[in-house]
Structure 1
Amino acid sequence: SISAKGGDGVVKAKKHFRDKFKTEYERREHLDLPPLADIDGQCYGSFYKIKVPRIQWKELAEAHPEKFLGVPNIHLTQAMIGRSLYTYPLEWWYAKFPKEDVMFLCTEDMKDLSGAPVNEVAQFLGLQDFDFSSVVSSGIYNAAGHKGYDTVTSWEQIVEEEEEEESSNTTNVTGSTNKFALDESEIPLSAEFRKELLDFFRPHNERLFELVGRRCNWTDS
């Protein structure tokens, strides 16, 4: 395991960063806490071969030499699980800065169209008082294919575009030339695999919640 004692993420992190984070390393060793891990550096890794984007897929490539792992966007697919273990990169920030100087938000918080989370961020940064409620509730800026921070795209338009895209993908699956279109029902997540993922993420998420002092709306079932 990358984050386990003796794992690459821990060993290489200690080799490169112990001097800069000496106090934190000594604190963790004294309290017998889990070690810091450079999970970002290990998850991205390096290329294995021209046709195999990342070293993590070496075993997959060797088991299926007849397959071609053509990935249009490596950034969106590499190390999807490793990059989801948010506690490890955050632990470096909490080790470097006082906890009161770090603000942590869950992704679910940003779905609050009342603007309250954005208001909290502004207050944390010490910005001049401003009610973001009307701005957030009116739509989004520079997202979902709409570029620019000076033009708002309404939530109604976003919903309409998502419905059109979903309809288009369904059509593509049944007979189009879009080779990347997949019907979600054709790639089911079995109960066994879902349980395996939940069991894997649970201790990492609990470590994150303890670090930041709050819980996110993580589904544990």
Structure 2
Amino acid sequence: MKYNNQSKNNGSAKKLYQKFRYGLVKRHFYYLTSNSRVLPNFFVIGGVRCGTTSLYHYLNQHNCIVKSAYDELGYFDDNFHLGLNWYRSLFPMKSTRAMVESKYKKFLTYDVTPFYIYNPTVVDRIFKFSPDTKIIGILRNPIDRAYSNYNGQIQDEGYAKSTFEKVVHAEVDKIEKSKNDPENYGFLVDEFYEMILARGFYAKQLEYWFKKFPRKNILLISSENFANKTVETLSRIFNFLDIPDQKIIDLTKQNKIVYPKMKNSTRDFLVDYFKPYNEKLFELLGERFDWQN
């Protein structure tokens, strides 16, 4: 029995090594062929826990769209130092573009990184990279987004030993204090958007994007509409991208996590807290989302 277990362990280690080695060879090939690869036509910028993983799964089923090597590339924020050749190596070959265009008339590939929405530096970098590109954002009721984010961090990272209520009140205190101290408010870009509540201040985040990109090049949808009217929302996205409407076969929701219901008292508090921030967003967009509770 001991020998069998040791054999199994050796076999598992060998498989892991082979997988790692294959990954290195594959990445090396991608990098060597980077000059023969295309760059993205559009961006999905976020937000976190708003449905970008599901959107990535659905978009990749469209005949005219070819995905990047993986999602959440993060080139324009954390990985910018790796350079354009590294970034280009993650996208399809030019020969793939030619093949898709010959068959379906249109070809698109894209970068989906849900943290892009939070960082003004990313806005400047993407604008310099491609000023005429198209931008898609998914915005979720900030209360549900924050609670999902909290629970996701617990399950993925063992992040929060504090209760959601303690995290909420600690962040509210920190945010309010920063408003009264202009020097402290500069942490808006860094620490601020590591906070699960501040990630729901969509109007402030989108102001940067609207200053750089034409409004007609930015499509913003609510997570709730995306979840409840998926087919209609996808048709809207395809129209925005100027590609034919297409029935998406697999509409399975991605990256779902299960967690307890939020306390009613906490939700009531957050409804009042986020109300002015949501009103600023609706004014900015010229439309309202159904985020009453």
TM-score class, shorter-chain normalisation, is 0.3 to 0.5
- Report the TM-score when normalising by structure 1: 0.44
Bigger relative contact order, structure 1 or 2, given CA contacts below 8 A and separation 6+?
2
More strand by share: 2
- Report the TM-score when normalising by structure 2: 0.34
